[in-house]
Amino acid sequence: MTAQARLAVVVLNWNGREDTLRCLDSLRGEIGPGDAVIVVDNGSTDGSPAAVKAAHPWAEVIETGANLGYAGGNNAGMRAALDRGFVWVLLLNNDTTVEPGALGTLHAHGEAHPETGALQPLLVTAEDPPRVDSMGLRPLRCFGVQDAGQGAPASSAPRDPVPILGPCGAAALYRVATLRETGLLDEDLFLLCEDLDLAFRVRMAGKEAHVVPEALVRHRRGISGRQGDAAAARRRKFWLQRNTVAMALRYWPPRWMLLGAPLLLWRMFTALRLSESDLAHPCLPLWGRCLAERGASRRALVRAGADRWFA
C-alpha cells in the first residue's frame, strides 16, 4: 500500500445538492493522506456540481451527464479509483453523515483482517436517540433482502465486529483486490439489489464481510426514494420486483425456490406488468442471464458455505 492511494470515497449525487454538501462536511476531517473523495454527479439539474466545487474544492467531481442509476454512477467512481491504484473504495450515500473516526476505524479493521473483502460501519438513523438503520444485509427465504437489526435501539448493537453476508450499499467499503476479482456493480440492475448481488459475488470469491459497530454513520433513509412523482414511484416498484426475481434466479437455494414458487411467479407477473415504466431495462434478458449463471453461482456459494445466511 502506498500513501498516495489508500482510500477513495465515492459519493453519488442525483439532484441532492444539500444532502451531498452535508455529507461532504462530515467527511472533511476524516480524509487522511492518500485518501480521496470522488463525487459522481448523475446528470443533476439542481446545480450540484458547481455547489460542490465551490464549497468543497478538495473533493473531485465526475459528471456522467445522465442518470446512470446507483450501479452505473457508482461504477464511474469506482473505475476512477481502480485506475489510480487505490487499495480501498467506500461507496457512501449522499444522505449519510460520517461520525468522527469512522473511516479510520473501518480501514484499520480491514487492514488487520485480510480475509475480508467487504466491510460496513454501523448505520444508524439520523434521529435522536438513534436506532439501528442497518447492520448488514440479510437475505430473506421468501426472496429479497432486509437490513439486519433495523429499528432496534442503537445502544443494543454489539461492540465488536461481527460477520455479515455483505454491506448495505448506503455505506459499503470494498477491498479493491476483491473488486478486481468479482467485478463491479451490475449495471443491468440500475437501481435496487446491486449491493446484494455484489455481496453474493464477494462470498463466491471466498471472502468474508464484517460490520464494524465502532465505526458510526448516520443515514437519512429514503431521501432519494422520495424524489420524483408517481411515475418515479412506479419505476422504483418495477426495479424492486424485477431485480428481486433476478437475485432469486441466480442465487437462492433450490429449497426456498421450490417453497416460494407461487410468490416468485407473482413477482415476475408484477414486474412484467410494470415493465412499460422503464423500457430501457427489460426483464427477460436479465432473468435469462441470471438463470444461465445460476449453476456456477450456486456451486461457488455452496463451496463458500454462504447458504448459512438463509438460515
Which spans in the chain are helix H? 17-27, 48-55, 69-83, 102-112, 176-182, 194-204, 230-251, 254-259, 261-274, 283-303
Is residue 2 situated within a structural domain? no
Report the domain count for the chain: 2
Could you tell me if 285 and 204 lie in one domain? Answer: no
Could you tell me if 112 and 253 lie in one domain? Answer: no
Residues whose CB is less than 8 angstroms from the CB of residue 123 and which lie 6 or more positions away in sequence, other chains included: 96, 132, 133, 134, 135, 147, 168, 170, 171, 217, 218, 219
Could you tell me if 66 and 193 lie in one domain? Answer: yes
Could you tell me if 133 and 183 lie in one domain? Answer: yes
Please say if the pLDDT value at position 52 is more than 90.
Answer: yes
Q: pLDDT of 199-258, one tens digit each?
A: 999 999 999 999 999 999 999 986 555 555 899 999 999 999 999 999 999 999 999 999
Average pLDDT over residues 270-293: 97
Could you tell me if 215 and 240 lie in one domain? Answer: no
Q: Which domain CATH number covers 180?
A: 3.90.550.60
Could you tell me if 44 and 114 lie in one domain? Answer: yes
| 262: containing domain | 229-310
- Percent of the chain at pLDDT > 70 equals 96
Could you tell me if 193 and 48 lie in one domain? Answer: yes
pLDDT, residue 2, reads: 44
Q: pLDDT of 124-143, one tens digit each?
A: 999 989 999 999 999 999 99
Is residue 296 situated within a structural domain? yes
pLDDT, residue 4, reads: 61
Could you tell me if 285 and 199 lie in one domain? Answer: no
Could you tell me if 144 and 259 lie in one domain? Answer: no
Is residue 261 situated within a structural domain? yes
Domain boundary among 175, 206, 225: 225
pLDDT band at 310 (very low <50, low <70, confident <90, very high): very high
Q: pLDDT of 80-128, one tens digit each?
A: 999 999 999 999 999 999 999 999 999 999 999 999 999 999 999 999 8
Please say if the pLDDT value at position 288 is more than 70.
Answer: yes
Could you tell me if 179 and 42 lie in one domain? Answer: yes
